[in-house]
Amino acid sequence: MFRLGLGWQPHPGMLALARRPVHELARATGATVGIFVLREGRALTAAAVPGEWESFAPMRAGMTFPWTTAAGKVLVAGAPPELPVDPPSRTWTREAAGIREAGVAVDRQEVAEGVCCVAVPLHGQRGTAVAALCALVDPSQPLSSLTASVMRTGRVIGAAMQGRPGR
């Protein structure tokens, strides 16, 4: 059952399609990179590639994090409103609208001191977010260039998942 569970994916072949772009993103940025899905109101790591700060912020497949991480926010912002999550803050509606509009969520040491994250949704065949691509770095790294890299990689993976050539 454990092996069967490890093979579960929200989109057929998603992890295979994402493998190369995720490794390239980790290599190019030094970030620890992961693919996340929502599971029981938490961000579940479906796959991870260690980066330069792996020892400080380890990430492995099967680990869960609060939905308030950048990856979780991207997924909850695009999910149906009845999704069961911990009570959101009073400003969540506005923040979620901003995430959907920008197509990215950023966490500047909000969940864990010394860890910054950038996450984008990965869209499946119907255009709905089925997973999130997230990159973790230490706070000394410029998030603007990381954001651009994560968004570009997210578009490549999303295009592959939708059966289109990458952009």
Mean pLDDT by 10 residues, the chain (167 residues): 44 76 94 91 89 71 87 88 70 90 92 90 81 92 92 92 67
In contact, 118 and 135? CB cutoff 8 Å: yes
Asked whether the CA dihedral 77, 44, 150, 53 is positive or negative, the reply is positive
Which tokens go with 79?
């999910």
Q: How much is the pLDDT for 8?
A: 46
Number of residues that make up the chain: 167
Q: How much is the pLDDT for 164?
A: 66
- The CA distance from 38 to 44, in Å, is 6
Residue listed under structure tokens 């996450």: 119
Q: How much is the pLDDT for 9?
A: 47
Q: How much is the pLDDT for 32?
A: 93
